[in-house]
Structure 1
Amino acid sequence: MISFVPFALVLGAQATRKGIDGAVVPMMTALNFGGGSEFAAVELWTSPPHVALIVAITLLINSRHILMGAVLSPYLRTLPRHRALSALFFMCDESWAMGLADARKRSDRFSVPYYLGVSLGLYFTWVSFTAAGAVLGPVIGDPTTLGLDMAFPAVFLVMLRGMWKGPVAARSWAVSLFAAVGTYLMVPGAWYVVSGALAGVVAAYLLRERVR
């Protein structure tokens, strides 16, 4: 939750610098709850906004949740549909990774209360501090000059460290990384998210026997 604070403030401050009304910022983060897509939406914001473009990029970046939801589906299958959908709504990269890490510690028994506790804590932290960033935006100025934007990649590096199983299992990560970087350099837009995810899935499938 503490790690969410810096880049939530950055997002809120950047949104107000782009001319987005401060009251709209927590509404956006509460309904979407996807940090990467929200940063992209703010970056693309104009007056009037290009709604179709923003929606398309948001869908593209959030497409990684399809794979994340597929990984969680065996654990949520026993829940009533409304509870499973609620759990998936509050899913983010961090709660997904922490929920799976906790399941490994419990001999592959997934704890829904633990997962929801993490998810709800992160959700309310994110919404609250993006709203605070919108209010404090004029005071903060350009948040990148303070280095607060480094918090976003730092969190993901810590997540990767927690999921590390050795160099053999991490080969699919390398494939995903090179595919994403190559696409980012050659193709405009957020297609690098999809290409990186798909390349990683294919590599993990092809290397599955060697990992075992």
Structure 2
Amino acid sequence: MQTDAALAQPRSPRNRIHGEVWRGLAASIPVMIGFIPFALVLGAQATQKGLSAIEVPLMTGLNFGGGSEFAAVELWTSPPHVLLIVAITFLVNSRHLLMGATLAPLLRHLPKRKAFPALFFMCDESWAMGLSDSRQRAAAGHGHPFSLPYYLGVSAGLYLTWVVFTMIGALIGPMISDIEAYGFDMAFPAVFLVLLSGMWKGVKQAIPWLVSLIAAALSYLLMPGGWYVAIGALSGLLAAYVWVSKS
């Protein structure tokens, strides 16, 4: 049995790191569970567009951006319109530029060999959880509020869940047949609407959303292909810029 004095001794650096990793992994479990249905749907949709069970986890593992992957699969044809898919992926993932800029001050004390991998594994959820934990640690008086081991624990759980279950979705996709018949294709739009509701700040601030919606809808009706995604995104950005300039 350990004595009180032994229990009072500080943990070694290695034990502290392991503890932070497990703390991040445990904190990410609810989000990991939420990832599973979307990953299954994406994998099943991708196989129906012609991707193999090997190509799907390669895509999700190298890109790790759910929104852009859903958009890419939606636009996938044979042969694929590579430039269009690349452009849409960039537009959808461009929010990561702002997210990375928010994390940059917290990563300045880290060497680049650690900071760059941390940014690669950044997604909406790991970014939000890492930032929230940093604020709590800063309030508690930590000298370096950003806990890289905690963030990596969060990111590892989310990354592995996403890649593994998109592959499983690709494997079982042919057994499910037409996933739209079960309404699974509505999963991602439903979550997107929930995210929008959380960002609602009034009718005036929603004007760029409305402009983007109208532009995307008209483009979808009048133009072939998937250009409605790019036109909707760009028109929304332009409307937001004009609106801010006038304010």
Does TM, scored on the shorter chain, surpass 0.5? yes
Give the CA deviation at 1:159: 6.1
- Structure 2 partner of 1:19: 50
2:102 matches 1:66: no
Kindly tell me: are residues 171 and 44 of structure 1, through their superposed partners in 2, closer, same or farther at Cα, counting changes over 3 Å?
same
SS of the residue corresponding to residue 9 of structure 1 reads helix
Q: How far apart, in 2, do the equivalents of 1:102 and 1:200 lie? A: 30
2:243 matches 1:192: no
Indicate the structure (1 or 2) with the bigger Cα radius of gyration: 2
Kindly tell me: are residues 178 and 76 of structure 1, through their superposed partners in 2, closer, same or farther at Cα, counting changes over 3 Å?
farther
2:197 matches 1:181: no
2:171 matches 1:135: yes
Q: How far apart, in 2, do the equivalents of 1:107 and 1:195 lie? A: 39
- Structure 2 partner of 1:114: 150
Which segment drifts farther, 129-138 or 141-150?
141-150
Q: What's the CA shift string for 1:35-83, capped at 9, x where partnerless?
A: 1111111111111222222112211211111111111111112111121
Kindly tell me: are residues 205 and 36 of structure 1, through their superposed partners in 2, closer, same or farther at Cα, counting changes over 3 Å?
same
Kindly tell me: are residues 71 and 205 of structure 1, through their superposed partners in 2, closer, same or farther at Cα, counting changes over 3 Å?
farther
Kindly tell me: are residues 141 and 184 of structure 1, through their superposed partners in 2, closer, same or farther at Cα, counting changes over 3 Å?
same
Q: How far apart, in 2, do the equivalents of 1:27 and 1:56 lie? A: 19
- Structure 2 partner of 1:99: 130
Q: TM-score, structure 1 length as denominator?
A: 0.79
Kindly tell me: are residues 20 and 167 of structure 1, through their superposed partners in 2, closer, same or farther at Cα, counting changes over 3 Å?
closer
Give the CA deviation at 1:85: 0.8
SS of the residue corresponding to residue 190 of structure 1 reads helix
Q: How far apart, in 2, do the equivalents of 1:38 and 1:30 lie? A: 11
Identity of matched residues, %: 60
2:107 matches 1:85: no
Q: How far apart, in 1, do the equivalents of 2:239 and 2:105 lie? A: 23
Kindly tell me: are residues 81 and 129 of structure 1, through their superposed partners in 2, closer, same or farther at Cα, counting changes over 3 Å?
same
Kindly tell me: are residues 199 and 28 of structure 1, through their superposed partners in 2, closer, same or farther at Cα, counting changes over 3 Å?
same
Q: How far apart, in 2, do the equivalents of 1:171 and 1:41 lie? A: 31
Q: How far apart, in 2, do the equivalents of 1:119 and 1:100 lie? A: 13
Q: How far apart, in 2, do the equivalents of 1:203 and 1:69 lie? A: 25
Q: What's the CA shift string for 1:4-63, capped at 9, x where partnerless?
A: 111111111111111112211111111111111111111111112222221122112111
Q: Gaps (5+ residues) in structure 1? A: 208-212
SS of the residue corresponding to residue 21 of structure 1 reads coil
Kindly tell me: are residues 53 and 124 of structure 1, through their superposed partners in 2, closer, same or farther at Cα, counting changes over 3 Å?
same
SS of the residue corresponding to residue 229 of structure 2 reads coil
Q: What's the CA shift string for 1:133-176, capped at 9, x where partnerless?
A: 11000112222333434443555566678x77x958x975x355
Kindly tell me: are residues 201 and 149 of structure 1, through their superposed partners in 2, closer, same or farther at Cα, counting changes over 3 Å?
farther
- Structure 1 partner of 2:75: 44
- Name the aligned partner's letter for residue 51 of structure 1: V
